[in-house]
Amino acid sequence: MAERVLMKGNEAIAEAAIRAGCRHYFGYPITPQTEIAAYMAKKMPKIGGVFLQAESEIASINMVYGAAAAGMRVMTSSSSPGISLKSEGLSYIAGSDVPAFVVNVQRGGPGLGGIQPSQSDYFQATKGGGHGDYRMIVLAPASVQEMASLTVKGFNLADKYLMTAMILADGTIGQMMEPITFEDVEVESYDKPWALTGTKLRRKHNIVNSLYLKPDELERKNFERYERYRTVEENEVMYEEYMMEDAEVCVVAFGIASRVAKNAVAQARSEGVRVGLIRPITLWPFPSKVLRQAAEKVKSFVCVELNMGQMIEDVRLAIECTRPVSLCNRTGGMIPSPDQVLASIREAQKGGN
């Protein structure tokens, strides 16, 4: 078995990215994700890779765009305000159908907000962020181990579906250390005949582009892209179920909130409350089906989030409002205590029908 090592979540992402074959990192400093850049700055030159600190988040995402178009596994990382700046580039990357890997270690917002952990970029990540019709695969790790495994997964999915895969983490998971093991990483490789390599005068020129001035052509492109998104929705949903077998109350939480929620669920169970947890691991595609199935059995849902209630909208949509859904939340860098979640669970058990 591979050795257990203690690592910060941010460092685990960086190491996993390298193991996934990423040799190009373009970034710009911002708390609380700077360890990723620092790790890359140290490692990349030693393994023939490139670490480049760009002049801005805007420049760095456009470097990612160029490198992705050149056919390389490439990444950038940032935190909330920085992701806003990168959103233009994310839209271009989506519109050009090139694969990219992006990390958002979230902090409180809006505006400059704070630097403590938050999940308030859920809408931005799952609903677009940039302009136009597009999706990103959004992965929500809840442990340092998952920071690593979902990074490898993210690179593979990005290449497979020619789109951006984003890790949506938060300051807590980024900054905390836990033991992890790097098992043999399964790097999937995909042909990239569309990549900019130079024609070598042996083929027609490749064009990486998101401009379609003819409306019917642009519409066709968008339809095609959404066909691809549909296969992602069919094949790539990931979630964890915890004590759901006989649950009357279903807690829904991702990332650090799910860790707190799990403690509260265990506590409630010890008091005889029949409660379970569904933890979405992919936020897009969202595990709507399993929630719909859960709605047939449970009385009510509790969403635990570090925001003003964002994922809760997707939960309500998934269950088509057939059960009450309550929100247990903190924002601004605050994290709910297990007691707060426990109180919400007890409340939810009383309600419902």
Partner 1 sequence: MKTTQILIAGFGGQGILFAGKFLAYKGLLEDLQVSWLPSYGPEMRGGTANCNVILSDDPVGSPIITDPDVLIVMNLPSLQKYVDSVVPGGQIYVDSTLISEKVARTDVEVYYIPATQMANDAGVPTLANMVMMGHVLKNNPELTFDGTEATVAKLVPPSKAQLVELNMKALQAGRDYQ
Partner 2 sequence: MAIVFQKPKSLSDAVLHYCPGCPHGIIHRLVAEAIDNLGIEGEAIGVAPVGCAVMAYDYFNCDMIEAAHGRAPATATGIKRCRPDNIVFTYQGDGDLASIGMAETVHAAARNENITVIFVNNAIYGMTGGQMAPTSLPGQVTQTSPYGRDVNHCGWPIKVCEMLATLEGPEYVARVAVNNVKNVKAAGKAIRKAFQNQIDRKGFSLIEVVSACPTNWGMTPQKALEWVESDMLPYYPLGVYKDRSAEKEADAK
Q: Point out which residues bind partner 2 (CB under 8 A).
A: 24, 26, 50, 52, 54-56, 58-60, 62-72, 74, 88-89, 92, 96, 196-202, 205-211
Shortest Å, Cβ 350 to partner 1:
24
Considering only the stretches 57-65, 84-92, 252-260, 301-309, report the one whose residues sit in contact with partner 1 under the rule CB under 8 A: 252-260
Q: Which is nearer to partner 1, 178 or 248 (CB)?
A: 178
What is the residue type of 224? E
Closest CA to 187 of 22, 353, 298, 352: 22
Q: Which is nearer to partner 2, 220 or 230 (CB)?
A: 220
Distance, in Å, from the CA atom of 288 to the CA atom of 297, rounded to the nearest integer, reads 15
HSE-CB of 181 using CA atoms within 13 angstroms: 6
Shortest Å, Cβ 241 to partner 1:
16
Q: Which does 88 bind (CB under 5 to 8 A by kind): partner 1, partner 2, none?
A: partner 2
Closest CA to 5 of 169, 150, 183, 141: 183
Q: Is 111 exposed, middle or buried (0-12, 13-18, 19+ CB in 10 A)?
A: exposed
Distance, in Å, from the CA atom of 260 to the CA atom of 264, rounded to the nearest integer, reads 6
Q: Which is nearer to partner 1, 64 or 167 (CB)?
A: 167
Q: Quick check: 115 binds partner 1 (CB under 8 A)?
A: yes
Q: Which is nearer to partner 1, 38 or 266 (CB)?
A: 266
Q: Quick check: 308 binds partner 1 (CB under 8 A)?
A: no
CB atoms within 10 A of CB 90: 27
Shortest Å, Cβ 48 to partner 2:
11
Helix (H, G, I), strand (E, B) or coil at 14: helix
Q: Which is nearer to partner 2, 47 or 201 (CB)?
A: 201
What is the residue type of 320? E
Q: Quick check: 259 binds partner 1 (CB under 8 A)?
A: yes
Helix (H, G, I), strand (E, B) or coil at 315: helix
74-78 and 100-106 strand pairing? parallel
Contacts of partner 1 in 31-70 (CB under 8 A): 31-32
Tell me the number of residues near partner 1 by CB under 8 A: 22
Q: Which is nearer to partner 1, 49 or 338 (CB)?
A: 338
Q: Which is nearer to partner 1, 64 or 335 (CB)?
A: 335
Q: Which does 31 bind (CB under 5 to 8 A by kind): partner 2, partner 1, none?
A: partner 1
Cα–Cα separations (whole angstroms), residue 254 to 8, 19, 109, 294, 304: 19, 25, 18, 17, 8
Contacts of partner 1 in 193-212 (CB under 8 A): none
Distance, in Å, from the CA atom of 262 to the CA atom of 316, rounded to the nearest integer, reads 21
Interface contacts to partner 1, rule CB under 8 A: 4, 6, 31-32, 115, 171-172, 175-179, 256, 259-260, 262-263, 266, 335, 337-339
